[in-house]
């Protein structure tokens, strides 16, 4: 280890906790091997390292353990490469994996990562795990507090395994809710087995509207200071009830003030993540003929994670699978173009409704089956 590296690690231990008993480079399987979802890396970009150090004196780890959890995986930067490709990184996915490429703005990449690693703070009575800070105002994420995150994830995964309904009612941390509960739509997934496809699609369209209007700056703009409990998007309060005090800015950037000025990019990145996941076989089954002028095959079924038949999952979507997703890149580029053209939600909605998230006539209720 170089002197600079050792120093950097020592500094980081004071700010983001020390990972005890988890060797960087080892692959950790949490619950089940990740099945057919796109991987991403928790490594911050050079720009984010610089800003975090400057604004909050946070020094990130230089290496992270490779972790596969639920349908997700922190390892190679596949989500990031797909996103760079959507922003005109040409020459194939393999040429777009460099974290410091800047075809996509760094805020967009932060948003793409947010869905899989949304930073959160524990409420009263939560967070009593090894490696977790005592302060209720400390922010937890895989990238910021790896050991605390890992211990919390193991706990909620076991709870959801025993009771798939545990987090479907909106209780629990953002980590628990987004992976095992009511916020699974962030990964284009259903909250539970048997959920009608139309219901999951409605959640996805709700989040798409929210994200689009946070980034739009147009007449229907949702500002950074809007309370999430007051967001005027149909269905939003099913997940962020009226009494919810946190602002839109807090939702996306809590504990990471260096990202606040990029809120519009982060919201757009979150939308891209949801779309990217909807092209991964572990999340959504697509099939049949795309509508005229649409690159995406219709959706036959959404999947759910909690309660899956663990034996069914062996593969995950690494770079190999991403190479075959040309229709996904086409869809993402269309969205980037519409954003550049400053389209309003009412202009972009039909494209998402009738093309990207179009349901097949024979779409079925959510299951834990995995297709590809």
Residues found near Zn ion in the complex (CB under 5 A):
115-116, 187, 277
Least separation in angstroms between CB 372 and Zn ion = 16
Decide: 282 and 313 in contact? Cβ < 8 Å.
yes
Least separation in angstroms between CB 274 and Zn ion = 8
* Separation between Cα atoms, residue 63 and residue 171, nearest integer Å: 32
Question: Whose Cβ is closer to Zn ion: residue 182's or residue 277's?
Answer: 277
Least separation in angstroms between CB 189 and Zn ion = 8
The structure tokens listed for 174 are 């953002």
Question: Whose Cβ is closer to Zn ion: residue 51's or residue 276's?
Answer: 276
Question: Whose Cβ is closer to Zn ion: residue 79's or residue 192's?
Answer: 79
Decide: 119 and 256 in contact? Cβ < 8 Å.
yes
Alpha helices in the chain (DSSP H): 3-16, 46-56, 78-86, 106-114, 146-162, 174-180, 197-216, 248-253, 263-277, 319-323, 326-340, 345-351
Question: Whose Cβ is closer to Zn ion: residue 115's or residue 247's?
Answer: 115
Least separation in angstroms between CB 149 and Zn ion = 16
Question: Whose Cβ is closer to Zn ion: residue 51's or residue 277's?
Answer: 277
The structure tokens listed for 195 are 């959920």
Least separation in angstroms between CB 222 and Zn ion = 22
Least separation in angstroms between CB 104 and Zn ion = 17
* Separation between Cα atoms, residue 142 and residue 200, nearest integer Å: 27
Helices and strands in the chain, H and E counts: 12, 5
Of residues 254, 140, 116, 83, the one with CA closest to residue 189: 116
Q: Which residue is closest to Zn ion by CB? A: 187
Least separation in angstroms between CB 93 and Zn ion = 17
CA 154, 160, 165 angle in degrees (round to 5)? 160
Least separation in angstroms between CB 114 and Zn ion = 10
Question: Whose Cβ is closer to Zn ion: residue 61's or residue 273's?
Answer: 273
Question: Whose Cβ is closer to Zn ion: residue 58's or residue 284's?
Answer: 284
Question: Whose Cβ is closer to Zn ion: residue 48's or residue 317's?
Answer: 317
Contacts of 259 (CB under 8 A, 6+ apart): 48, 51, 107, 110, 252, 253, 266
The structure tokens listed for 362 are 């024979």
Decide: 156 and 176 in contact? Cβ < 8 Å.
yes
* Separation between Cα atoms, residue 227 and residue 244, nearest integer Å: 7
């Amino acid at each position: 280890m170089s002197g600079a590296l050792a120093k950097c690690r020592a500094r980081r231990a004071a700010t983001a906790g020390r990972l005890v008993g988890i060797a960087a480079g080892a692959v950790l399987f949490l619950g089940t091997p990740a099945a057919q979802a796109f991987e991403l890396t928790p490594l911050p970009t050079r720009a984010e390292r610089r800003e975090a150090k400057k604004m909050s004196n946070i020094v990130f780890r230089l290496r992270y353990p490779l972790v596969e959890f639920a349908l997700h995986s922190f390892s190679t930067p596949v989500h990031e490469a797909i996103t760079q490709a959507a922003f005109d990184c040409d020459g194939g996915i393999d040429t777009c994996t460099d974290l410091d490429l800047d075809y996509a703005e760094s805020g967009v990449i932060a948003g793409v990562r947010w869905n899989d690693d949304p930073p959160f703070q524990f409420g009263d009575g939560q967070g009593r795990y090894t490696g977790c800070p005592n302060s209720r105002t400390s922010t937890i994420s895989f990238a910021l507090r790896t050991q605390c995150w890992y211990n919390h994830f193991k706990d909620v995964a076991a709870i959801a395994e025993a009771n798939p309904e545990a987090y479907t009612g909106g209780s629990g941390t953002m980590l628990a809710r987004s992976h095992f509960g009511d916020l699974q739509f962030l990964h284009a997934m259903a909250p539970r087995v048997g959920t009608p496809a139309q219901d999951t699609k409605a959640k996805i369209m709700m989040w798409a509207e929210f994200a689009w209007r946070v980034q739009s700056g147009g007449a229907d703009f949702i500002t950074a200071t809007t309370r999430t409990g007051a967001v005027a998007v149909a269905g939003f309060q099913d997940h962020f009830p009226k009494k919810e005090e946190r602002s839109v800015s807090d939702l996306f950037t809590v504990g990471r003030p260096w990202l606040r000025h990029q809120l519009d990019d982060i919201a757009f990145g979150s939308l891209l993540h949801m779309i990217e996941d909807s092209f991964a076989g572990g999340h959504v089954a697509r099939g049949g003929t795309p509508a005229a002028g649409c690159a995406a095959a219709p959706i036959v079924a959404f999947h759910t994670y909690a309660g899956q038949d663990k034996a069914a999952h062996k593969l995950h979507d690494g770079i190999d699978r991403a190479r075959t997703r040309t229709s996904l890149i086409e869809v993402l580029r269309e969205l980037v173009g519409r954003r550049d053209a400053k389209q309003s939600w009412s202009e972009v909605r039909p494209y998402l409704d009738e093309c990207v998230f179009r349901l097949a006539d024979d779409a079925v209720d959510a299951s834990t089956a995995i297709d590809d």
